[in-house]
Homo-oligomer: A and B are copies of this chain.
Amino acid sequence: MSRQVDMALMSAHEYRRRLAEPKTVLLLPVGAMEQHGAHLPIGTDWMMAQFIARRVAARIDGIVAAPITYAAKSGVRTGGGNFQSGTTSLDGITLITMVKDIVKELVRHGARRLTIIDGHFENRFFLDEACDLAMRELRMDGIDDARVLKMVYAAEFPNPLIDAVYTDHEFPGLDLEHGGLLETSMMLYCYPEFVQMERLGNESAARFPPYDLFPPRTEWVPASGVLSSGLSATPEKGRLLVECFVNQVADAINAEF
């Protein structure tokens, strides 16, 4: 369980040995560099995706590739908008191409069981497109037995978990869980040294109309950059969330690979 799981930190010789073992799964965390209010770090999305990927890898003896840190632009209604300072994003076309390149390289190494763990909602269709293109180009190059499982880490939210976490206010929906109770609790559990609870104000959940504007109306977004309240966050709630999501990812991998 204490084996190194990070591909970047192991030697290529070790990596090859690990990849040659039967059924080794290679996990690729994807997040974002995105403002998460005054209390959470800019790297929150990829840090959480990486944390969960490492936990899963430790359990299934997998390998975690270096996380994709710069990724899709932040949506106004799901991340505060890409006009925010600190939010550092790629054009969608760049992201598609970058993820495609990386998936193809990992498959070239011999990986056939890839799992992408996504921690940034706005990556969704760009990751799908990247995977589709990678499969197409690999097929053109004679490789048709590689498979990618792509999963948002908070894909499913069982009711008991919601009840245990949302003790002080209602679950605002995942779209508004940007810097809110879910992420704050998880970060308190995983990376407490980078959470500044004292900077967290009392925010009610943001309210948005059911459409997007370009250029965005910046005044739609609360000054904090946070879309719902993380005030009742605790490390224990974070533990429950992380364990649930780790189980979900591990179950998916076991079901498919």
Q: Cα distance A13–B134 when bound, in Å?
A: 29
Contact of A132 among B73, B97, B155, B255 (CB under 8 A): B73
Q: Cα distance A69–B124 when bound, in Å?
A: 22
B213 touches A148 (CB 8 A): yes
Contact of A89 among B19, B35, B105, B209 (CB under 8 A): B105
Within 8 A of B (CB), among A92-126: 92-94, 96-98, 101-102, 105-106, 108-110, 122, 124-126
In the complex, whether A219 has a CB less than 8 A from a CB of chain B is no
Within 8 A of B (CB), among A132-166: 132-137, 139-141, 147-152, 155-156
Q: Cα distance A1–B250 when bound, in Å?
A: 41
Residues of A near any B CB (own CB < 8 A): 6-16, 19, 33, 35-43, 46-47, 65-66, 68-70, 72-73, 75, 82, 84-94, 96-98, 101-102, 105-106, 108-110, 122, 124-126, 128-129, 131-137, 139-141, 147-152, 155-156, 194, 196, 199, 209-215, 225, 248, 252, 255-256
Complex A-B, nearest 7 residue pairs according to Cβ-Cβ distance, in ascending order? A12-B86, A8-B43, A12-B35, A155-B210, A92-B129, A151-B211, A131-B214
